[in-house]
Homo-oligomer: A and B are copies of this chain.
């Protein structure tokens, strides 16, 4: 029976679904003015969250999100056995300083903007196997901290090409349990590093699309499903340009997802009004879209089954400045309305 958990070359199908007890999302002011504004639990006006730096602000945001998810699940931090979390900053400082006071055993994760998927995958496997009754999966990103680290200081006021995306200031947290909650995780597909040699750090969609295509292709093969078996296949932050590339790459493999594909990065901002170009990005982009809009649609039954595919561009200024490409990775999570 245990053997049957393994599906195809890189997937797992849970014989007993893992339940999402609660989800929470906290975002910054720009996200709070976008099309998804009514789906977030909390929008703050001050992007530093009352702290002295963007990094400390991101830690505060992550902590608030986790505490909110705990309150919704009527749990305390000490009821949680493991925390699976990560962010975009070097050495995961947003996570480190954000979760310290909670004193929950921590598995620190880095999957770039795919981290929310990596966290949900490991968290759900851990609950399924009985190593924990209750765990939390969380991820965050912050526009100010990300621009400073990966591109230019905001004060420099650089021009942003139309292919660029806007890092979401936001964090999402999910309490997973073996029995409570009417939305469930029924399977996962784990991604590989995929590199098409793209070297443009201001076109992350193009860097990530090949990894997303590889993930979705193998997911459908492993589960023996068609795109239509999902109400939605939701990528994390490919944006307009990356989404076009994704659909084309999959069409080349005789897989047409255009009818069910959505991208969190294309939903979270209104480019015409908010000047965000190709869309939103960052771990927080897919995390808050899932925690808010998608979870609410799953809970209501409006949507029955989605494939959630956060996408990560493994960008580093060091490797980038040494002339290396920006490889991508993606993780897939099957999320369904429970019975």
* A contact set with B: CB distance below 8 Å: 2-3, 5-6, 10, 12, 52-53, 55-56, 81-82, 86, 88-93, 96-97, 99-100, 103-112, 118, 121-122, 125-126, 128-133, 149, 190-193, 195, 314-319, 322, 324, 327, 329
Contact = CB atoms under 8 A, between A and B. Distances in A.
Each complex incorporates copies of this chain amounting to: 2
Where chain A touches its partner, the secondary structure class is mixed
B56 A190 contact: no
B6 A90 contact: no
A100 B55 contact: no
Most chain B beta carbons < 10 A, residue from A3, A110, A132, A329:
A110
Contacts of A121: 107
A128 B97 CA distance: 32
A2 B96 contact: no
Contacts of A104: 192
Nearest to A94: B319
Given A3-B130, A96-B314, 11 more contacts: A5-B129, A10-B81, A55-B318, A90-B90, A91-B315, A93-B319, A100-B193, A104-B192, A106-B190, A122-B122, A125-B126
A228 B107 CA distance: 28
A192 B103 contact: yes
Contacts of A5: 129-131
Nearest to A96: B314
A318 to B, nearest CB: 6
A228 B91 CA distance: 35
Given A91-B316, A100-B327, A109 B108 contact: yes
A318 B97 contact: no
A52 B321 CA distance: 12
Contacts of A93: 314, 316, 318-319, 324
Contacts of A106: 190-193, 329
17 contacts: A2-B129, A5-B130, A5-B131, A6-B81, A6-B131, A12-B131, A55-B322, A56-B324, A88-B91, A90-B90, A90-B91, A90-B149, A90-B318, A91-B316, A99-B193, A105-B190, A107-B109
